[in-house]
């Protein structure tokens, strides 16, 4: 058995202080006894969840708000995925605050009756039908339009088997070009099955040649100002695009668990994504302190041995790129099949990575920070509950921006972060630091002398002296100040910590979690100042796409034509963007990152 390391997994407390992702997904509310209350979906989790932070005119919603204690979120790739997942979880968990409809209909799929000599195409909710089913689809209208388009292009029948067997002459569907009339042998079985196979590939997105024809028709009618007919082709293209959106929440696995890991300099976030009866059903994030003496294989084997016991995992597929070489025999005993990332499961890996990325960015588990604070308290001989870190960013003296980040015993409190546009645009870090501290301390004094216990800045003796002079102006301020000096070649291992004692600036001998915490505050203040400074540098007179380097006028035209506008492009995934001819992976990532900046 692998050596056990410490992992933490605590429920996320729902409060206005929590930073939430501006991504589509599903959220679950729990009460103080950890009982499910409500499940919802959102195009932007951050925007939707804000509505639960204050009372409304809706009595039932207020009753729910009063009971909410904990929150779980599940990020999806698209809004359609969120809708599918939400409805499936509601059916399974039956939260008391969700409306339960009696018909409890499932989402439809496009069905080909492949057992028939001449298969038909239908929209169905019947899960027991034998044949080829594509879906499910959240957008029922788009699914119907896609069937209509497929029949127009490939002539696949849509009638019942009874009608098919009793036809003696072609029906009206043949006359309007939507059926090849296999019922009266207007097409051979061989040719008909070839058309059915092409239709399946078309719906799956494997054959896009017909899409080019639709675009040509749309452009042709538009050029001669027959806009109504052009709009018909536009709608057909939109229906095809909607049906082609990646659906990732219903899988080919009956029961499976996917494991991914993301790390930064301070912590590991390990995410597990559980699949039951083919549907994604749960996700959990576990956090462990980053330890340079622990290898990745050791860490992951320890984690897997932990959840094998906790969750009693057996008779399932384990999706992971980690080796788990020392646990292979144990996995065999529990009938667990280890499967690496491949073409059929890559969407599941991508979803699991979304969870671990989000967990790392919004991390609310910092078990090592309390230990770090204890080391700092011993050195400064003072109690520290709140730390504020400051940094300055600019480009050759222009757009000078300063940041203030806030930490407490639970970690960074991002909702309390602040930025300051420095009024004097000069390449002078001393003046900038003096101004930001002056403005911040004045504000805190107005708020009832709510000064931090410790201020952390980046710089040497000059910056520290300037900061001390500002703090000393406030008689009621007993805030300690520490300054971090970057080591040779910016190697953080050799960073120096400076402090002021009895009129002298001295070097503090601090290692372990104490130094690590101060570096975390310094790095976070630098990151926040830099990100805000970059935003200020953008030329707001340009259009949205003009702000993206490497996207020329030809690319812009193709993108807008494909998606029909900026809003649709904003909602697109990286895979959808890079599928466009001439864009590629690198440009797709630039476009996606531009519209999804945190």
User: Concatenated DSSP letters for 293-305?
Assistant: TS-HHHHHHHHHH
Using DSSP, state whether 273 is helix, strand or coil. Answer: strand
Residues 560, 563, 568, 569: is their CA dihedral positive or negative? negative
Q: Which long-range contacts (CB under 8 A, 24 or more apart) does 584-591 make?
A: 586/550, 587/550, 587/551, 587/555, 590/548, 590/549, 590/550, 590/551, 591/548, 591/551, 591/559
Question: pTM of the full predicted structure?
Answer: 0.55
Instruction: Please name which of 9, 582, 466, 583 lies closest in space to residue 272, comparing C-alpha atoms.
Output: 9
Whether the CB-CB separation of 534 and 398 falls below 8 Å is answered with no
pLDDT surpassing 60 at residue 452: yes
**In terms of C-beta density within 10 A (0-12 exposed, 13-18 middle, 19 or more buried), how is residue 81 classed?**
buried
Percentage of the chain with pLDDT > 70?
A: 87
φ/ψ of 49, rounded to 5, equals -70, -20
Find the mean pLDDT for residues 242-261: 70
Whether the CB-CB separation of 153 and 212 falls below 8 Å is answered with no
Q: What is the pLDDT at residue 425?
A: 62
State pLDDT tens for residues 558-579: 887 787 667 778 788 888 888 8
Q: Provide the residue count of the chain.
A: 598
Binned at pLDDT 50, 70 and 90, residue 248 comes out as low
Enter the tokens of residue 453.
Answer: 């216990």
In this predicted model, which residue has the larger pLDDT, 236 or 433? 433
Whether the CB-CB separation of 112 and 200 falls below 8 Å is answered with yes
Binned at pLDDT 50, 70 and 90, residue 407 comes out as very high
Angle 516-517-520 from CA coordinates, rounded to 5°: 90
State pLDDT tens for residues 296-313: 888 888 888 888 777 787
363-395 in b/e form (b: 16+ CB < 10 A) is: bbbbebbeebbebbbeebeeebebbbbbbbbbe
Binned at pLDDT 50, 70 and 90, residue 543 comes out as low
Binned at pLDDT 50, 70 and 90, residue 540 comes out as very low
Whether the CB-CB separation of 130 and 155 falls below 8 Å is answered with no
Please state whether beta strands 336-339 and 316-319 pair in parallel, antiparallel, or not at all (unpaired): parallel
- Domains identified in the chain and CATH numbers: 109-244 (no CATH), 255-361 (3.30.420), 369-537 (3.30.420.340), 545-595 (1.10.150.20)
Find the mean pLDDT for residues 498-519: 82
Enter the tokens of residue 132.
Answer: 């080829």
pLDDT surpassing 60 at residue 392: yes
Rounded to an integer, what distance in angstroms lies between the CA atom of residue 584 and that of residue 572?
Answer: 14
């Amino acid at each position: 058995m692998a050596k056990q390391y410490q992992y933490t997994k605590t429920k996320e407390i729902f409060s206005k202080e929590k930073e939430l992702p501006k991504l589509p997904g599903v959220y679950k509310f729990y009460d103080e006894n950890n009982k499910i209350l409500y499940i919802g979906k959102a195009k932007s989790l951050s925007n939707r969840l804000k509505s639960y932070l204050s009372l409304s005119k809706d009595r039932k919603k207020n009753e729910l708000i009063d009971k909410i204690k904990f929150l779980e979120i599940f990020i999806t790739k698209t809004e359609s995925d969120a809708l599918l997942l939400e409805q499936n979880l509601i059916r399974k968990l039956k939260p008391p605050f969700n409306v339960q409809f009696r018909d409890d209909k499932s989402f439809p799929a496009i069905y080909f009756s492949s057992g028939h000599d001449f298969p038909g195409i239908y929209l169905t909710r019947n899960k027991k039908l034998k044949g080829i089913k594509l879906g499910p689809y959240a957008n029922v209208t788009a699914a119907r339009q896609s069937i209509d388009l497929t029949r127009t292009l490939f002539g696949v029948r849509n009638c019942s088997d009874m009608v098919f067997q009793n036809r003696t002459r072609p029906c009206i569907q043949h006359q309007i070009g939507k059926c090849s009339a296999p019922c009266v042998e207007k097409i051979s079985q061989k040719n008909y099955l070839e058309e059915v196979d092409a239709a399946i590939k078309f719906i799956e997105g494997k054959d896009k040649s017909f899409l080019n024809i639709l675009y040509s028709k749309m452009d042709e009618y538009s050029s001669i100002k027959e806009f109504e007919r052009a709009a018909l082709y536009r709608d057909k293209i939109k229906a095809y695009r909607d049906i082609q959106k990646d659906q990732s929440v219903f899988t080919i696995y009956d029961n499976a668990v996917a494991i991914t890991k993301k790390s930064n300099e301070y912590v590991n976030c390990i995410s597990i994504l559980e699949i039951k009866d083919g549907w994604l059903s749960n996700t959990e994030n576990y956090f462990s302190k980053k330890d340079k003496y622990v290898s990745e294989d050791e860490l992951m084997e320890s984690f897997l041995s932990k959840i094998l016991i906790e969750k009693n995992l057996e008779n399932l597929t384990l999706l992971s790129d980690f080796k788990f070489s020392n646990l292979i025999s144990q996995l065999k005993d529990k009938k667990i099949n280890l499967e690496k990332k491949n073409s059929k499961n890559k969407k599941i890996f991508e979803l699991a990575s979304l969870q671990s990325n989000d967990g790392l960015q919004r991390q609310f588990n910092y078990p090592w920070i309390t230990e770090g604070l204890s080391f700092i308290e011993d050195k400064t001989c003072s109690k520290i509950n709140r730390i504020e870190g400051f940094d300055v960013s600019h480009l050759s003296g222009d757009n000078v921006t300063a940041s203030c980040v806030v930490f407490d015993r639970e970690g960074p409190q991002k909702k309390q972060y602040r930025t300051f546009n420095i009024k004097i645009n000069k390449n002078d870090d001393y003046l900038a630091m003096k101004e930001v501290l002056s403005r911040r301390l004045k504000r805190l004094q107005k708020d009832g002398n709510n000064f931090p216990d410790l201020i952390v800045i980046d710089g040497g003796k000059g910056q520290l002296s300037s900061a001390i002079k500002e703090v000393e102006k406030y008689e009621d301020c007993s805030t300690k100040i520490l300054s971090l000096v970057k080591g040779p070649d910016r190697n953080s291992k050799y960073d120096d910590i400076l402090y002021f004692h009895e009129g002298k600036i001295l070097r503090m001998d601090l290692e372990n979690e104490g130094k690590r915490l101060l570096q975390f505050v310094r790095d976070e203040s630098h990151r926040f100042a830099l990100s805000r400074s970059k935003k200020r540098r953008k030329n707001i007179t340009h259009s949205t796409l003009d702000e993206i380097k490497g996207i020329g006028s030809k690319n812009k035209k193709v993108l807008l034509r494909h998606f029909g506008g900026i809003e649709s492009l904003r909602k697109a995934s990286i895979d959808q963007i890079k599928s466009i001819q001439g864009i590629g992976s690198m440009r797709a990532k630039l476009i996606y990152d531009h519209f999804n900046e945190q």
